[in-house]
Structure 1
Amino acid sequence: MKTLKPGEIAAYCDVHHRTVSRWIANGQLKGHKLPGRGNYRVQLDDFLAFLQKQKMPMPEALASEASSSVARLLIIDDEPAFRAAIKRALYGKGYDITLANDGFQAGIKLIQLKPDLITLDLDMPGLNGFEVLSYIRQTPEFAQIKVVVISGLAEAELEKSESQWRRCGSG
């Protein structure tokens, strides 16, 4: 895991290195002290999450490293309130979050983004979550993506469809 010194972070953010040390000391930026002199170090992922949380621009020099180190999350749900709630819950946790409001849009975004993690609603009009999950598991390029099924279906309906979603999920 790549670490950054406060001076490096200061250069990226165009601030004094003491400002970065204060961010760490105040708990705004996750970092750790080295034994001995007590110099700070910050993991790259923690710095990138800090930038996102503070709505600060991504330094161009880190853009390529950021795209490879930030987990890409695709939220697939037809209900705007549920999409927003999931996004809110995961915002600032180090994810690059993308939203899809139906199964068709999800397919397009899957191909474009190749996400690391997907949250998926089963009950959607048109191309439903079962069909999306089946597509993911049957496509070698996507088969290893982690999928978290989140559904507003009643418990009885979920139990009735359990064999269907398990069959889709195991590909």
Structure 2
Amino acid sequence: MSDIHALSSKPEREYCSTSEAAQMLGVSLGTVQQMVENGLLEAWKTAGGHRRIRIASVEDYLRKRSSGVSAAHPVALRVVVAEDDRIMQRLYMHTFETWGLPLEFRLVESGFDGLLEIGRQQPDLLISDLVMPGLDGFAMISKLRSDPKLAEMDIVVVTGLSPEDIAERGGLPDDVTVYGKPVPFKELKGYIQARLAQFQRRGRVAN
């Protein structure tokens, strides 16, 4: 018997679609996909590439959630993007939405706005341009890194400045990751997926 035939012989209602699982759990399709990748839900793929979720694993997850078991909750990465260019803001927003990852992202237009936003709720990741009106990225990052309460917040810079330009303006802390423009979304996605996996291993619960 072929593997495809064996899969197709599974009882019809033992499995549901990704959209059905999302409706049962009250979460987005992207969150369901992330839960499958993290092993929180059991699933398989049809010959046509469609994901099927084991209903029993969805029901088990719901039971654990209702009983207060926290380790199985999906995580969401909190991201602040500091970028003053409106076209770039829309590009970030559109790209993040197409990834289907559990992200909570906010957009700010200056370093000053970034400090205010981070003061309201500390993100896990700051993605920042350097050249912005008012308080620029250099000053904002210097202020953030002087606060020990923000030591675990990751900072990624995406800039059109050359390494020489950055050095002439005083440089950046060693723990800041720097990418050149255009925005390297492939690298950013890998970075974010790695952070999500790290949070999942630690058992962090999304707020």
Tell me how far 1:123 sits from its aligned partner: 0.6
Which letter does structure 1 place at the counterpart of 2:119? I
In the other structure, the counterpart of 1:135 is 143
CA root-mean-square deviation: 3.4
Tell me how far 1:80 sits from its aligned partner: 1.2
Cα–Cα, structure 1 residues 128 and 112, in superposed 2: closer, same or farther, change >3 Å? same
Tell me how far 1:69 sits from its aligned partner: 2.7
Distance 2:124 2:173 in 1: 21
Distance 1:78 1:123 in 2: 9
Q: Number of matched residues? A: 124
Distance 2:139 2:93 in 1: 23
Partner residue of 2:54 out of 24, 35, 39? 39
Structure 2 unaligned regions, length at least 5: 1-12, 22-28, 37-41, 45-52, 59-67, 177-207
Tell me how far 1:159 sits from its aligned partner: 2.0
Distance 1:70 1:167 in 2: 26
In the other structure, the counterpart of 1:162 is 167
Cα–Cα, structure 1 residues 129 and 142, in superposed 2: closer, same or farther, change >3 Å? same
Superposed CA offset, 1:112-152 (max 9, x none): 12000010000112100000110111011112210110113
Higher relative contact order (CA 8 A, sep 6+): 2
Cα–Cα, structure 1 residues 22 and 169, in superposed 2: closer, same or farther, change >3 Å? closer
1:123 corresponds to 2:118: no
- Contact 2:82 / 2:107 at 8 angstroms: preserved in 1? yes
Structure 1 unaligned regions, length at least 5: 1-17, 43-61
Cα–Cα, structure 1 residues 168 and 112, in superposed 2: closer, same or farther, change >3 Å? farther
| Identity between Structure 1 and Structure 2 (%) | 23
Q: 3-state DSSP class of the match of 2:171?
A: helix
In the TM superposition, what are the counterparts of 1:143-154 in structure 2 within 5 Å? 143-153=151-161
Distance 1:130 1:79 in 2: 17
In the other structure, the counterpart of 1:112 is 120
- Contact 2:138 / 2:172 at 8 angstroms: preserved in 1? no
Distance 1:120 1:108 in 2: 14
Superposed CA offset, 1:71-112 (max 9, x none): 110000111111221222222321101111111111110011
Cα–Cα, structure 1 residues 33 and 68, in superposed 2: closer, same or farther, change >3 Å? closer
In the other structure, the counterpart of 2:83 is 77
Distance 2:84 2:160 in 1: 11
Superposed CA offset, 1:15-67 (max 9, x none): xxx6x8122799x5423239xxx93536xxxxxxxxxxxxxxxxxxx9x99x9
